[in-house]
Amino acid sequence: MKAGKVINLLQISRSTLKRYREKGILKARRLPSGQYTFDDDSVFLLKKWTLTKTNLALRTRFYL
């Protein structure tokens, strides 16, 4: 998956995407052109995790 699509899907900045790639949170492969492609599975796993975290925060706030 290309960087622009990942940024839109996760609603993150380019610098955050770079940090996630450098820390290994998102798996990426560097192309000969110097661009990166990101592993679909790791992107969707992170998306699922952030949605779960958001839902838990909203539920906790609702019950307080």
59 and 53 Cβ atoms separated by less than 8 Å: no
Q: What is the CATH number of the domain that holds 14?
A: 1.10.1660
pTM (predicted TM-score):
0.78
- Domain that includes residue 42, residue range: 3-63
Residue 6, Cα to own-chain centre: how many angstroms?
Answer: 7
The structural domain count of the chain equals 1
> What pLDDT score was predicted for residue 17?
97
How would residue 56 be classed by pLDDT, with cut points 50, 70 and 90?
low
3-state secondary structure the chain: CEHHHHHHHHCCCHHHHHHHHHHCCCCEEECCCCCEEECHHHHHHHHHHHHHHHHHHHHHHHHC
pLDDT for 53 equals 72
- CA distance linking residue 50 with residue 34, whole number of Å: 28
**pLDDT tens digits along 21-53:** 999 999 999 999 999 999 999 999 999 888 777
Q: Is the pLDDT of residue 58 over 60?
A: yes
Higher pLDDT, 62 or 3: 3
